[in-house]
Chain A
């Protein structure tokens, strides 16, 4: 039950048990043929055209720039256009430490991303606070405020490690249910319940 993506062989990934258990869980109650095929088609498109949000706070951002430059060239795998507005991006890659003053801004950026959206914690600081874990104003990992899909350890991760992490996200997207998976109306209701200010403007 392999999940194949174009750029890397299934056997070369190191944590296939995880993705297999995810697939088994998702398909436990079976899939409608029509919806299943449509899902495959849409997910094929989504996984090969992931647009990141330019969001770097420290060292990892420089490695991300190297990822965009000619030698590593992330455009090969479809992470083509780094967007500067969260409204046009598919995922937020948190590159660097998140501190107390920044936390509300990060949350806001995440909320501004259009659904379906993903979060990658890139580098030791975003994963766990890294070397600054004991500081008085550093978040011990961005997962304290955002739901993280992929963790990329490293300080900073090498560009190859970043690719590995991004491909994990591609695999995750490939097995997701786009149709009928999430109750978006429910989600919107929950959002406005927790944000009364925004609900007033609607």
Chain B
């Protein structure tokens, strides 16, 4: 009976070609994943360098009666010590003893190394009893060989980078023993496997939603953004980007405001002691790119509960205090909520940061979902643009860009919706429009308020002139309310600015305009790469240009209409769609010309990045929609699925760089 039931269900299921395709695909991708992981197993980075050795000069041979004693501080947990021994010319005899002690003098591990086995290759010594915590330690090196001629020496390096000193028979030396500290675990392997598995699950889910359940695109958008976003939360450690920590301090500052904690006397942000420790140590990492060391740092620093909640002055000022920035509370709102909730729950620093990033991801995913739902044209464009690696990186990082992207997409969707409405918009829709306008105007110095030029494509019969005027006024009012003091303040530094390279843009518009044009020509590849994720913002993580190009191509395909079906934009509409793009380019270059003038040359205005144009990017693709070049068949879902596949390839590409030797 049961067997018959299963048989009938299976036969029904197999009549569905999409389901069969899914099963085949799932099996193939699972096999590929297993194959990839089993092949990569030996090549995945398994160690993080806690202290870098720099072997410079060999010491005198260490014979019996001489003891080298090196104190040092580890800035992370470690379970391996690397030393460089120096064999003498004649055959080595006897043994060299290395012993590691805690600062209080308890022996941790003792190693005996036969001198005859010593070569110039580094020696990696494994600690007994697992990893040791960060802290102060002492290492002694001695020998039982009485003859210096047959004893081995050890390599030294200049300068006490270990916050310790070397003593030979009690006498302080100028050099230190060259010590490398390592943490060796399977973290890299677990990260790679976990992220790739998650990405494959996202891929399978996308297939199920698009082809089997045929879920509404806006719901699919939320699921995909959340799924891939979760992967990006782990692909990029919290402190990846250069200015992440400035944003962290700023979010912390706003969170303090909510909790009623004032700044200290010198205007710096008060922080919990444990959070400050994490901040200081994490920020001191020399490498700002995602790498196994950063993952280890995060892993090392991770604790569910905050160990020390005492408030201390951080010595850091936030962007709010600096007063010349584009960082309002609105732009950081999801992150402020996350961090504050985390602090109220007494979570540790890393869980708090993760919570802040996660809540931002949820908020932006919902905003994009609604944007996809609202727009009658270009739903797939909005979805695919929000799935590009740079967009995902920005909405999962500590940054003020994510919320601005969300509001911009929402505003564009509403304007396009109103453009093709036949009747007057409802009060609810208008209020939603006002909210998007206010939100966008409150982010990034209000620079994306130029999107309000889209009001011109909306017929007056749908949105009255008064309503348009009021929306415009609200946008300007919000920008001034949040940034008026920045734009109009009587600045104390006004008289001391360095002269601009080409003079004031108002006095020399042609020269400055030419510099803008030459910058565009010179950096077009950088801008395109930055817009679609080849270059991940400030971090120097990159994905291959072929992938970026494929993303661009796929978004272009979905921006076309299917067999010329309406609605399409008129020529006048397209001219209006182009205006915000033009304004945004102008504003970006103007701001960078004035703000980063010291780095600009006559031919190149420095500092403009491709991601600045993301909020107006949907408009460029909407302009592509025409009646002449059209899709003969509706292949947009297949294109979305293909895009998700490329996204997984981008994961492979990123993780290959970060985790594989």
**Does A pair with B?**
no
